Every structure is written in C-alpha cells, then in structure tokens.
Structure 1
C-alpha cells in the first residue's frame, strides 16, 4: 500500500522525500527511455494525443474508405514515380489499380470515389523520363 502523507508535513517535502528514497533504492534505474528526450514535448498539448498515437501504432484510419483509397492512390503514384526499377513502378501502379477497380465494382461508403485506374503505360513513360539509363 502507498504510504500516506503524515499530518503536519508539507506536501512538497513529503513528495521530495518519496522521490529521494525511491532514487536511492534504484527504483528509477533502467527505465525505458532513460536519457532520451520526451517525445513531442515541444508540441502544443492535445487531449487526444494517446488516441492518435494508438491509431498510428495500429495503422487505423478515421477516414471514410473512399477518402482513404484516394490517399492511398496518391501515395502509390508518388511511390511509383520514385521507384528504383521500372518493374517495381509497374507493380505499384498495377496493385493500386486493382484496389480502385474493386472499389468501383462495389461502391464504398463515404463521399464519391472520383478516381479511375491509372494508365500504367503513361506512368511508366513518366518514370522513364525521370530515370534515364
């Protein structure tokens, strides 16, 4: 059980004594993150920080499926343009096109998708212009 603050002792000195004794016992040794800066300490306070962190860790999106697919398509096109090989660029575009076709075949909830499969040959032509031999 946690020790209670004795009557007549100021709260500050009681807390300081608890911390000093715990330090002397080594209770704070080998804590995770010891000696490292506190993450996001310089950012403004956000009361939902822990929710956002958990969503990032679990790779969960709060976007409606159509908007999430638009974002994924945008990211895929950028990745294809920066791919190291033509084969990799083609694979990225073909993979996202498959997802777009699936979404067009069974409409997703949310705002309209407003997205059509990319022209793979046009994307590859752009890739070749960016990556001359």
Structure 2
C-alpha cells in the first residue's frame, strides 16, 4: 500500500530550510530543560517578561493595592527616617493619598478581592427556580 504524498505547509518548509542552514544551532538554552516552575500560574508570561526586562510593575497596581503594599512596609521603612517630624510628614502624606483614593469615584467593576458580597439571607435556603417563578404551587 502506498502512502499519499506528504503535504508540507509553508511554515514547515521554512522551519526545515532554517534547520538545514543551521539557524537553530547554538541557541541560548540549547540542550537544557525548559523552566516550567510556574506553569500553573495564569500570569506566568507577564511575570517572566517583567523579570527579563527588569520592569517595575509597582506603578501598574490599582491605587488601593499600591497603598496597601506601601502600608505593609510600615513601621520598618520608617526606621531609616531621621526625625519624628519627618515620620509624621510621611504618615500624613500616606493618609492624604489614602483619603484621595477612597474619595475618587469608582470606575468599572471593583476588584474581586476588595468587593465583599453578603449573602441575601443565609438562614433561608435558596428555593428552586420553579418555586420562585410560580410561588403558588406547592
């Protein structure tokens, strides 16, 4: 039985020709295993990109998260401040920015970690859809 002729796509042809020319020889990381330690993280690609390009993504955080991250460094970060007056100025500046962020009108959907949803009535079990639609049926 003869096999039908193999169809080679333009991409496969370009790869085969590049291999023949040796374009893939001596690439960095050749012969080394792939680094898949963060394969389950959905944002692996942006984290690797930021690390590779030495990007500071701190400015990309929403206001509430950036301020929370800054507050987490207190009081250790204030140990380097020389005088009590400077510490007070730093804290007052933080409080002003925190208040301005809280008073800023919300745009879009709130962040899931900041939005708190309370159950409607936790003691009453949810009724089936047909009981809600036709309440007279029992």
Fold match (TM-score > 0.5): no
Q: Pick 1 or 2: higher relative contact order, CA cutoff 8 A, min separation 6.
A: 1
Q: Could you say which TM-score interval applies, normalised by the shorter chain?
A: 0.3 to 0.5
| Structure with the bigger percentage of helix | 1
The structure with more radius of gyration: 2
State the TM-score, normalizing by the size of structure 2: 0.40
